[in-house]
Each structure stands twice: as structure tokens, then as C-alpha cells.
Structure 1
């Protein structure tokens, strides 16, 4: 399903801003996740309804996810069995979340958006502390090589959240796998990129069949996120995490204000 005029009638500056937001989201998603907190507020500010903005954003970020996975492909060496196992759970969760987004009334999503964004911001801010505590806890407990049943369930639940909204799903996945997997952080981040791609990809396919898509918005975000995904793989590791978190929190607060005040 395609929306009416949507972003096609927006100014050149507005469209350039959406593309630039796509670059930022692609970079942040590759490094840690939560890039939706960059693009979603921008789409709201451009005048798109919340559900249309969410659907178009999910579709647009898929190419950036592919770009990020390719950028981290060296860290995925030897992890095919784990990726197949967790990928099934991610696909199932993403499809469930996408179905819920379109099955539930649009008003339900609009009412939930401020809460979802606020929760995502809390996760982004708490991520450094959570990482330290989870790492300390993991050192004292043996972990199954593939994460066990708990990781499968956790990835499925993260997938539901990602298919429904998606902001900070990467942070959730990193925390979950940091506890349950015996892998270095960069390898876990590479797996996170694959799982996020699976969630966004299956949700995007479902939205293509029955979703309110603003194609101009989706294409602008796609173009920007591909560039951002490569930047994230090349230089994102060198960017100060506090700077990234500060940007994410700033745009998240703007998004909450936009939704609440209309």
C-alpha cells in the first residue's frame, strides 16, 4: 500500500534532512543500534503519520542493515550455525511484531510511541552500566556455546519489539547476547547486525504486502542508511560513545515532544 502525497510534496531541504537522518541511523545501527530514534522523529517532523513513518522507516533501513552486515562480515566467520539458529527466532519475532503493528488500531501505536521512545532512551542511557554489570555477571556463570533456550526466547521477544517499533532493539540484543554468549564484543555486534537485518527484513516484506508506505521517505532513508552502514563499519568504532548517546537522546526527546504535543 502506498500513501498519498506524503514526503513527495515536501521541500528539498526536508527531503535532504531525511536522507541525512538515514546516514546517521545507518551508522548508529551498525555500531550499536537505536538508529530509529534518529529517523523516526525526522519523519514525524516532516508530517508523516506515526504508523506510516514507522513502516516507511523500517523499509528504508533494510539496505543500511545489509550494508552494516557486509561491513562486519569478517567478524561473522565460523558463526553460520549460530546465525541460522538465532535467525529463525528473529524472523519469527519480526513477523509477529509487524502483524501486531498493522492489526492493532493506529491509535494504539500512536499512544504507545512516547512510552516506546522513552523506554528506548532509558536503554541507550543505561547501556554502559548494563554492559559492565552483565559482563561481571557472565564471568561467574558458565554459558552454553549457542546461548541455550533462553537466548532463543530472548531473540524472539526482541524480534517482536523490533517488528513493532524497533528503536534500540540493537541495544537489547547486545545486552542479551553479552550475558548468554561466549563471544568477543565485536563478534556479538556482528551477530546483532544480522539479527536486526532479519527482523527488519521480514517486517519490511510484510509491510510491502499490506502497509502504509511513503516511498519517497523509504528511498531517501535507504540511500542514506547504506552510506551510514559503511561509515559505521569503517569509523563508527572510533566515535566517542557519549557523543552518539547524546545525539540519540536529543532526537528522542524531540520525538516525544512532537507526539505528545501534536
Structure 2
């Protein structure tokens, strides 16, 4: 691996760790970084899924105070998400590369839209109750999405958890990261033995992810959340347009 590529991947990992722990859009930084060093979309996606496991480790280490007392909730939701991750990995391995390249921009745009609409969704949720079966089904579907393509899965998970519980955002954010990590872990296990994971790139990217996700929760507690969320959503829409243009060429 060229030194310049390694630096780019570390920076992409730090960005992924920060955006993932703060706004649920880790792959906004890591997936383009992998594409920029010459990886094909499918290979970049499976490598990204493996590398993002470091986000779960870093965020869990940085959110111990938010995760206190959440054990039973985490175990139940993580098990459901892990099953979804297995299904998502299976779908990806059955999806032609050309189809994947067309689907990804739409998924990123969807995640950006939901990130922008999160506050209205949370206000709507104040007048509605999400039942346990509805929550479990939603987490399973997002797990499928996360196993198929990581970008914006955190946004979806954050929105669903925000609808299901009345709690401070940092707590919801911490739970989201661990639950989504279970989906990534199950999908990454499948990819490790059946998909073209670039292990050197995954290792370098994960170093940056670990650093970014460890410091991200501390920033969540201190900086204004809304401007950051809007900026990330706008950047995500730009990425979606860029990837759509690339697929159309």
C-alpha cells in the first residue's frame, strides 16, 4: 500500500469514527476513502463493513457512562440486528455489482433525508408509542440494510431508537452504535470468508475509526448537535449525487 493511500485511509477512518458516533453516518467518510484509493465498489463496501467494527469498539469505550444499565436492552436489540446483518450480507453477495452501484446513492440520499427530518420524527413520536414487535422488526430491517451497505444505517437506527424511547440523545446514540455494531459483526464474519475484503486497507482504516469513534462521544456532549447534523446530511446528499454520476457514466 502506498504511503499516501495509507494516510488517506487513516483520515477517512477518523472521519468515519467521528461522524458515526456523532450523527450515525460513518460511511460518509470511509466508503469514499476506499473508492479513492482505487477499490471497486463491492470490495470497498465489504472492506468498509469489516473496518467499521472498530467504530463499535471505540464508541463503546467512549460511552461507558451512557451505556450504564443498558445491558438487557443491548443484548436483545443486538441479537435482532445480528440476524438482519446476516441476511444483508447474503443479499449483497447475490447482488450484481452494477445493481449495487445504482442502489447505493439512493440509500445514502435516504439516510441524509432522515437525518434532516429527525427532529420532526422525534416530535411525532412524542404522540405515538412504538410497540416491542414494531421496534424489533425495524431493528431487523435496519440490520439487513447495515449488512448490505453500511452508509446511513446508523441514521436509520438512531431515528428508530429515538422513536422508541424518551432519553437524552447521547444515550440513544451510544445504544445505536452498539446495536449496529452487532449487525456489522455478523455481516463482516460472512464477508471475511466469502468476499474480496482488502485486509490491509481494512486494518489501516480501522485505526482511524478507532480514534475517531473514541473521541466522538466526548464531542457529542460538548458541541451544538443540530448544525453538525445538517452539515453531515448536506455532505451525504453531495456524495449520493457524486456516486450516482459515477454509476451513470
TM-score (norm 1): 0.86
Q: Which runs of 5+ in 1 are unaligned?
A: 1-7
Per-residue deviation at 1:140?
Answer: 3.0
Give, in whole Å, the separation in 2 of the partners of 1:135 and 1:247: 19
Per-residue deviation at 1:181?
Answer: 1.9
- State the match for 2:217 in structure 1: 233
- State the match for 2:245 in structure 1: 260
Matching of residue 189 in structure 1 with residue 173 in structure 2: yes
Aligned length: 246
Where does 1:47-196 land on structure 2 (aligned, <5 Å)?
A: 47-124=38-115, 126=116, 129-131=117-119, 133-141=120-128, 143=129, 147-196=131-180
Per-residue deviation at 1:164?
Answer: 0.5
Runs of 4+ residues over 6 Å off in structure 1: none
Per-residue deviation at 1:81?
Answer: 1.6
Per-residue deviation at 1:32?
Answer: 2.2
TM-score (norm 2): 0.90
Identify the match of residue 199 of structure 1 among 183, 190, 211.
183
Q: Which runs of 5+ in 2 are unaligned?
A: none
Per-residue deviation at 1:252?
Answer: 5.3
SS of the residue 2:167 aligns to: coil
Per-residue deviation at 1:111?
Answer: 2.1
Per-residue deviation at 1:216?
Answer: 2.0
Question: Does the Cα contact within 8 Å between 1:14 and 1:46 map onto a contact in 2?
Answer: yes
